Chain A
Amino acid sequence: MNIELRQPEISQKTRLKVIDVDIHPKSAMEDLRPYLAKRWWDHYQTYGSRIRQGFLKGFPYPKSQPFASRRDSWPPGGGLPASDLNFMKQQYLDLHPIEYAIMNPLSPTGQGDQNDEFSAAMAVAANEFQLDGWYARDGRLLSSVVVPYEDGEASRVEIRRRAGDKRFAHVLLKSRTNELLGKRRYWPIYEAAVEAGLPVGIHVFGTSGRPASNTGWPSFYIEDMTEHASCCQAQVVSLILEGVFERYPELKIVMIEAGFGWMPPLGWRMDKHWKTLKAEVPHLKRAPSEYLRGHFWVSTQPMEEAEEPDHLMDMMSWVGWDHIMFASDYPHWDFDDPLMALPPALDHERRSKVMSENARALYRLD
Chain B
Amino acid sequence: MAMAGHVVASVDEIPPGTRKLVEVNGRAIVVFNLSGDFFALNNRCPHRGGSLSDGIQTGLVQSREPGDYCYSRPGEMVKCPWHGWEFDIRTGKSWCDPARIRVRQYPVTVKPGTELVEGPHVAETFPVRVENNYVVVEA
Interface residues of A (CB under 8 A from B): 64-65, 70-72, 333-337, 339-340
CB<8 Å pairs between A and B, sample of 16: A64-B84, A65-B84, A70-B50, A70-B81, A70-B82, A71-B54, A71-B55, A71-B81, A72-B50, A72-B51, A334-B82, A334-B83, A335-B83, A337-B48, A339-B49, A340-B48
- Complex contacts, A337 vs chain B, CB 8 Å: 48-49
Complex Cα spacing A334 to B50, Å: 11
Asked whether any CB of chain A lies closer than 8 Å to the CB of B4, the reply is no
Asked whether any CB of chain A lies closer than 8 Å to the CB of B56, the reply is yes
Nearest residue, chain B, Cβ from A65 = B84
- A-B pairs, 9 with minimum CB distance: A71-B81, A72-B54, A72-B81, A340-B48, A64-B84, A70-B82, A70-B81, A337-B48, A71-B54
Chain B nearest CB from A175 CB (Å) reads 22
Question: What sequence of 0s and 1s flags, for each residue 14-51 of chain B, a beta carbon within 8 Å of any chain A beta carbon?
Answer: 00000000000000000000000000000000001111
Complex Cα spacing A336 to B50, Å: 10
Chain B nearest CB from A15 CB (Å) reads 18
- Complex contacts, A72 vs chain B, CB 8 Å: 50-51, 54, 81-82
Question: What sequence of 0s and 1s flags, for each residue 53-83 of chain B, a beta carbon within 8 Å of any chain A beta carbon?
Answer: 0111000000000000000000000000111
- Number of B positions contacting A (CB below 8 A): 11
Asked if A333 and B48 make an inter-chain contact with CB atoms under 8 angstroms apart, the answer reads: no
Contacts A72-B81, A334-B82 known; list 17 others, CB within 8 Å. Answer: A64-B84, A65-B81, A65-B84, A70-B50, A70-B81, A70-B82, A71-B54, A71-B55, A71-B56, A71-B81, A72-B51, A333-B84, A334-B83, A335-B83, A336-B48, A337-B48, A340-B49
Complex Cα spacing A333 to B80, Å: 10
Complex Cα spacing A333 to B81, Å: 7
Nearest residue, chain B, Cβ from A341 = B48
- Complex contacts, B82 vs chain A, CB 8 Å: 70-72, 333-335
Interface core residue of A70, A334, A339, A340 (most chain B CB under 10 Å): A70
- Complex contacts, B83 vs chain A, CB 8 Å: 333-335
- Complex contacts, B51 vs chain A, CB 8 Å: 72
Chain B nearest CB from A355 CB (Å) reads 16
Nearest residue, chain A, Cβ from B80 = A71
Complex Cα spacing A125 to B49, Å: 37
- Complex contacts, A70 vs chain B, CB 8 Å: 50, 81-82
Chain B nearest CB from A258 CB (Å) reads 18
Complex Cα spacing A340 to B51, Å: 14
Complex Cα spacing A65 to B56, Å: 10
Chain A nearest CB from B41 CB (Å) reads 16
- Complex contacts, B84 vs chain A, CB 8 Å: 64-65, 333
Complex Cα spacing A317 to B48, Å: 24
Complex Cα spacing A339 to B49, Å: 10
- Complex contacts, A335 vs chain B, CB 8 Å: 82-83
Chain B nearest CB from A91 CB (Å) reads 11
Complex Cα spacing A72 to B80, Å: 10
Chain B nearest CB from A28 CB (Å) reads 23
Nearest residue, chain A, Cβ from B55 = A71
Complex Cα spacing A340 to B49, Å: 8
Chain A nearest CB from B49 CB (Å) reads 6
Chain A nearest CB from B95 CB (Å) reads 14
Complex Cα spacing A166 to B83, Å: 34
Complex Cα spacing A64 to B84, Å: 7
Nearest residue, chain B, Cβ from A335 = B82
Chain B nearest CB from A96 CB (Å) reads 12
Chain B nearest CB from A74 CB (Å) reads 10
Complex Cα spacing A65 to B81, Å: 8
Complex Cα spacing A64 to B82, Å: 10
Nearest residue, chain A, Cβ from B26 = A3
Complex Cα spacing A65 to B84, Å: 8
Chain A nearest CB from B132 CB (Å) reads 31
Nearest residue, chain A, Cβ from B53 = A72
Nearest residue, chain A, Cβ from B84 = A64
Complex Cα spacing A65 to B86, Å: 13
Chain B nearest CB from A69 CB (Å) reads 9
Complex Cα spacing A94 to B55, Å: 23
Complex Cα spacing A333 to B50, Å: 11
Complex Cα spacing A340 to B50, Å: 11
